[in-house]
Amino acid sequence: MTTGYPFSAVVGLKDLRLALVINAVAPSVGGVLVRGEKGTAKSTVVRALASLLPVVDVVDGCRFSCDPLAPDPRCPDAPHDAPTATTRAARLVELPVGASEDRLVGSLDLERALTEGVRAYEPGLLAQAHRGVLYVDEVNLLHDHLVDLLLDAAALGTSYVEREGVSVRHAARFLLVGTMNPEEGELRPQLLDRFGLTVEVAATRDPVERAEVVRRRMAYEADPEGFTVRWAQDDAELAELIVAARERLPRVVLGDHALREVTTVCASFGVDGLRADLVTAKAAVALAAWGGREEVTTEDVRTAARLALPHRRRRTPFEAPGLDEQQLDDALSSVEPEQGPEGPDDSPDGGGSAPRDVQPAPADGSSDAAPEAPSAADKVEQPAASASERTEAPAEPFRPVSLQVSGVNRRAGADGRRSRAEGGSGKLTGSRVPQGRLQSLHLSATLQAAAPHQRARGRTGTGVVLRGSDLREAVREGREGNLVLFVLDSSGSMAARSRTSAVKGAVLSLLLDAYQRRDKVGVVTFRGSDASVALPPTSSVEAAAVLLAALPTGGRTPLTAGLLRAAELLRVEAVRDSNRRALVVVVTDGRHTSGPAPPLAAAHLARSGAACVVVDCESGPIRLGLAAELGEQLGGVALRLEELSADALTSVARTFVPAGRRSA
């Protein structure tokens, strides 16, 4: 058995460790979302937390970890008459990115239920995580409907499984921890709001601290058991403090003054709804319990708000979560202290301090605080502009025309909101004979298939005699996310006519549209004598937006090089994700002044099967129509820059559907 890395041995990351401890003391806070660059020990710290949680008593033989002192009467394994107890450690259950809905919530064996009359239910990961920790690595890469199910169960403490009129429910109370790399895209604001706390982590820039991290990690890898033994006492003490804080929690008082501080802070940041107020209040109470106090202080509220509000404040789609600490201090100071019989309370600290080194990070930005994580925008290498180049800011974005890949993708690999696709969600469109395991039963089609054979099968009474061959699978049509690859002409011909700002505004509008439709995006630019991949395909639309704003223009126009580079990028991406269809948006005036003529390269790109749209940026009284010719060569259609705005088109022409691959 592999020995986990000790929680106490983690260097730095005080905000992360504190947020995890808060949830260990009070799971009702709602879990933690950990955002940060790769290689910052996010997973290591989360896995180490499980060893600090108190052991749990469970009903012997119950697959749903019922408490023997209060067994769930509606547990699928009930009744638990005179249950015997078994003590075990709290579980850490990991949800893989590629998990299915059945793996998460459990599954009903519909074939046995219909043909044998047996309700056979197999518990999922939510049942396994009950009274423990559910850890979701790369939570932003999960399908949205899985995240919805996950967060609903975390909020309600119950998981419901509904399959064709058969319903199963079981308790699912767990500490939810999700980690994500912002470079791979953000969660929707509605989903972000469901996580109680959020923490930004980044590798320390202090050489001494980095050396200590390496030293401890190498010592752990050389002798995991010996390293764990050396830190066992520290972990044991932290575990005891968590138990003591849990016992103290019901006695902690959230006074009127502290409550006004909570609500004032939340109102000052303009958060939607009241979940932020509730989470901040619960976190402040947990902090007081963890600090050995029985009354919430101003510093508890401040620390709780710093962890509970960054992902909830109103922001633009491309703006990273964050919190203005000066605004936080101003909001707290605006709350007048309560007037008692002896005047204002001049001692808000209330005494006590957080145990050991798992304390709130200082507000003054000192070295004890976890380093601020750079946003995805900071990681994008900005093109260097020479004296002959121009860099213009994008114009104001607008609502763009709807671009979709035609046909229905029968092998959709990513839920989204752009093109039509078959999958496990969406409206019911028909039925078919299942290929492999039955995923979703079409009840009426199954009964219709069985009806002609009832006399031959000796049917008696009112029942229906079913066979496995009668089963029909439901076919549902929803929407998929596509790979939107922008091929941008950044040559001098684009800048010469002062169209750069308008072009960038149009591309920014399409990026906003891609963000809302849950697409992946990539950017290829061409100018001078060559083309380059400015941004490999990623879910981080924010990174593309920042790159666009800093993109310089100038030089000759190697259109052919841009088309060839796009074709090569699509080839590589198709190997990685063959089920995601591509939409190529070529933004150019159609001119080529460097390299060979584009027809052969355009034909090569067209053979990739991607749907292609050419945004014609040509302006002036005399138009050569080169972009329109390029659209025909690519097997797509060209739209003039002015036609990208949905508001500029008639109601009949609001949606443009280019041709694409793997269609119906």
- With a CB cutoff of 8 Å and minimum separation 6, the contacts of 532 are 524, 525, 526, 565
Sign for the CA dihedral angle at 165, 170, 176, 180 comes to negative
Q: Beta 415-423 vs 343-344: how paired, if at all?
A: unpaired
Q: What is the helix (H) or strand (E) element at residue 587, kind and residue range?
A: strand 582-588
Which neighbouring-strand residues pair with 476? 423, 428
- With a CB cutoff of 8 Å and minimum separation 6, the contacts of 489 are 526, 527, 557, 559, 562, 586, 587, 588, 589, 617
Q: Beta 339-340 vs 343-344: how paired, if at all?
A: antiparallel
Question: What distance in Å separates the CA atoms of residue 373 and residue 200, rounded to the nearest whole number?
Answer: 5
Q: Is the peptide bond before 79 cis (omega within 30 degrees of 0)?
A: yes
Write down the catalytic residue from 103, 275, 623, 640: 275
Please give the order of strands across the beta sheet that includes 582-588. 530-538, 520-527, 483-489, 582-588, 611-616, 637-640
CA 563, 541, 546 angle in degrees (round to 5)?
85
Active site annotation includes 275: yes
Q: Please, are residues 273 and 193 in contact by the beta-carbon 8 Å criterion?
A: yes
Question: What distance in Å separates the CA atoms of residue 51 and residue 234, rounded to the nearest whole number?
Answer: 12
- With a CB cutoff of 8 Å and minimum separation 6, the contacts of 461 are none
| Backbone phi and psi for residue 587, each to the nearest 5 degrees, phi listed first | -105, 105
What's the chain's length in residues?
664
Structure tokens at 186: 């953000």
Q: Please, are residues 575 and 537 in contact by the beta-carbon 8 Å criterion?
A: no
Question: What distance in Å separates the CA atoms of residue 161 and residue 121, rounded to the nearest whole number?
Answer: 9
Residue with tokens 């107890």: 85
| Residue of 107, 186, 179, 191 lying closest to 148 (CA atoms) | 191
Kindly calculate the radius of gyration of the chain based on its CA atoms and give it in whole angstroms: 29
Q: Please, are residues 455 and 494 in contact by the beta-carbon 8 Å criterion?
A: no
Question: What distance in Å separates the CA atoms of residue 516 and residue 120, rounded to the nearest whole number?
Answer: 39
Query: For 390, which DSSP code?
Result: B
Counts of helices then strands in the chain (DSSP H, E)? 21, 24
Q: Beta 158-163 vs 166-171: how paired, if at all?
A: antiparallel
Q: Please, are residues 619 and 497 in contact by the beta-carbon 8 Å criterion?
A: yes
Question: What distance in Å separates the CA atoms of residue 168 and residue 251, rounded to the nearest whole number?
Answer: 36
Structure tokens at 462: 């009112």
Kindly write down the DSSP assignment for every residue of 227-260, as one continuous string.
HHHHHHHHHHHHHHHHHHHHHHGGG-B--HHHHH
Structure tokens at 645: 């705005």
Question: What distance in Å separates the CA atoms of residue 420 and residue 632, rounded to the nearest whole number?
Answer: 24
Structure tokens at 261: 């501080």
Residue with tokens 């009702």: 28
Q: What is the helix (H) or strand (E) element at residue 85, kind and residue range?
A: strand 85-88
Catalytic machinery residues? 275
